[in-house]
Amino acid sequence: MEEYLSPYELMLLDYQQPQVTDFNTINHSIGDWTSRGSTSQMLKVPIGNSNRNEFFIIANRQKESYYDKVMWGDTCHDNPYFDLGDQEHYGKGIYIYHAYPGEIPGGGYPFGIHIDQECADGLWNWTHSYNAAPDWDPSNYWLPVFEKSAPVYDLNDPSPLSYSLTARDGKNVSKTMGSFNHLKWFSKGKKEAQQYGTGTDRLFTNIEEDWTSREWKGDRWDAWKVGYNVVFSPYSSPSTVNWDNENSGIFIYLNSMNGNTANMEIYKVGVGGWDENEILAATPPSKPMLYRPVEIYNCNGTSGNPRIIWDNNLEPDMVRSGLTTSYKRYKIYRAISTNPSIAPLNYTYHDTYDDYTPDDTANYIDNNIFNGAIIYCGLGGSNGNDTYYRYKIIAVDKYDDESVPSDFVSIKGHSIIPDRPVFNTEVTYSFSLSQNYPNPFNPATEIKFELPQNTFVTLVVYNAIGEEVARLVNNEYRNAGRYSVSFDGSKLASGIYFYSIVAGSYNEVKKMVLLK
């Protein structure tokens, strides 16, 4: 859907000659690509598969030319040449193509085209959840809605020509239903208001309906961009595996943009004097894959706390060593809006989370809900008193290099209450830390504490040998009053644990028992 020759075709037909990296030179810069522009603004990265001439092609498409349109879906709405106004930047970015020119018998250009676009929004397994109505037929619910079921790291997305829900990006996922083949038409957001109208991406709305984005024709999330996704490696999703799903050892890092010039670092393990540990130390972690819906943790029958769950990053240098165990570190960012018409967009640092099960999924429980909002276990709540939360995570490797933020997950809270405990002047408080209840517990328990004055509070859980296993309150400012915090021990072994509070000059430690 290029409307002209693609970078692959221009190179294949010998109309343009790309720069070629031999991995001895690490730093590469390419300017804006255009089909009628310089022959040097395209970078070829040989993969080195002994069975074929296989390579990645990198094109920096900042759309300096009005006719370089790479997005037919999304807000282009099947009209890639119309004036997008302030949305003109949506299609801009670095495009990575994975290709080999037809060494398979019976293949080759233009039949059996062996090329795939490596999309920055990840490679996934999908599930067909239900059907929805497209914009051109709003009363007929006949097109499938595909939703992510798991990120994929070690497989290649082989071709858009086969129909599969396995190892596909949003452009290539498709399914055969009866005698018809169906592609991915929908994204989450606000559904189009009228027939043939354009919907709103969930980035800008609190609504999560199915709008006809035509994602299989390309959307704003396909391009690699500074701040969105910058690491394409053996540990990212998609990854740099070759067409046979073998580790290529290639790392491509988009480290900066200078105007419309893209600056990249390109490495290959064992070439140019670089081993993998050195490459990992020189590059940040890949983008964390956060996609699961927010869960409600520790529901008391009415309300609970938000819990976000994600797959741990795979880079070996993500693993940090504790006294007796290893862990991986993430930073939690949160954005909040109390206006139902305004989506949360301004993310601020919220907490640091250390995951002590680094080979499993990570999960973070938000025990510090903004403005005292209640997160209901069901769909109930007080109309007009909604608070909208969004969470992103950043991976932090052992060198303290940080990844770009993950995509966001969201949840709605209800019934806003004051930011401080309700009390009157006749109530007297004192510093105290209560015994957790229940005790012994499995897997969750409540820890209560009391403050006679406004102060900063830290509440930490340790195992029997003094290792920190959870930080329930992280140097947070609290007003005078009584508080209760939940602790989840589902990931921990049975045994004795200690919880410690530091509040101003007050500190105390108590023992509790996890019994499974």
Quickly list H helices, 20-123.
none
Higher-confidence residue of 502 and 429: namely 502
pLDDT of res. 417: 39
Per residue in 434-475, pLDDT (tens digit) is: 999 898 989 999 999 998 877 878 999 999 888 889 999 988
Q: Is 11 helix (H, G, I), strand (E, B) or coil?
A: helix
Return d(Cα 386, Cα 374) in angstroms, integer. Answer: 9
Pairing of strands 303-311, 295-297: antiparallel
Question: Model confidence over 163-210: pLDDT tens digits?
Answer: 889 999 999 999 988 888 899 999 999 999 999 999 999 999 999 999
What pLDDT digit, counting tens, does each position of 279-335 carry? 999 999 999 999 999 988 887 777 788 999 999 999 999 999 877 789 999 999 999
Q: Could you count the other beta carbons within 10 Å of the beta carbon of residue 482?
A: 14
- Residue-wise pLDDT for 213-270, tens only, equals 999 999 999 999 999 999 999 999 999 999 889 999 999 999 999 999 999 999 999 9
Residues facing 59 on adjacent strands: 42, 95
Half-sphere exposure for 290 (CA within 13 Å, toward CB): 28
3-state secondary structure of 12: helix
Burial (CB count <10 Å: 0-12, 13-18, 19+), residue 106: exposed
Q: Is the pLDDT of residue 433 over 80?
A: yes
| Residue 387, pLDDT above cutoff 50 | yes
Encode 141-207 in three state secondary structure.
Answer: CCEEEEEEEEECCCCCCCCCCCCCCCCECCCCCEEEECCEEEECCEEEEECCCCCCCCCEEHHHCCC
Question: What's the pLDDT tens digit per position in 109-140?
Answer: 555 567 889 999 999 999 999 999 999 999 99
- With vertex at residue 24, the alpha carbon angle to CA 19 and CA 29, rounded to the nearest 5 degrees, is 40
The CA distance from 123 to 165, in Å, is: 11
106: number of CA atoms within 13 Å, CB side?
0
Residues 7 and 94: their CA atoms lie apart, in Å, by 12
Please, are residues 205 and 343 in contact by the beta-carbon 8 Å criterion?
yes
C-alpha–C-alpha distance, residues 98 and 171, integer Å: 14
Q: What is the DSSP letter of 356?
A: S
The rounded Cα 127 to chain-centroid distance in angstroms is: 18
CA 316 to each of CA 239, 360, 507: distance values in angstroms, whole numbers, following the listed order? 15, 14, 37
171: closest CA among 159, 180, 184? 184
Return the DSSP state at 238: S
| 5 neighbors 35 (Cβ within 8 angstroms) | yes
Contact 170, 184 (CB under 8 A): yes
Identify the structural domains of the chain with CATH numbers, from first to last. 7-125+149-172 (no CATH), 295-414 (2.60.40), 432-514 (2.60.40.2550)
For residue 24, pLDDT beyond 70: yes
Task: Extract the tokens encoding 131.
Answer: 């059907």
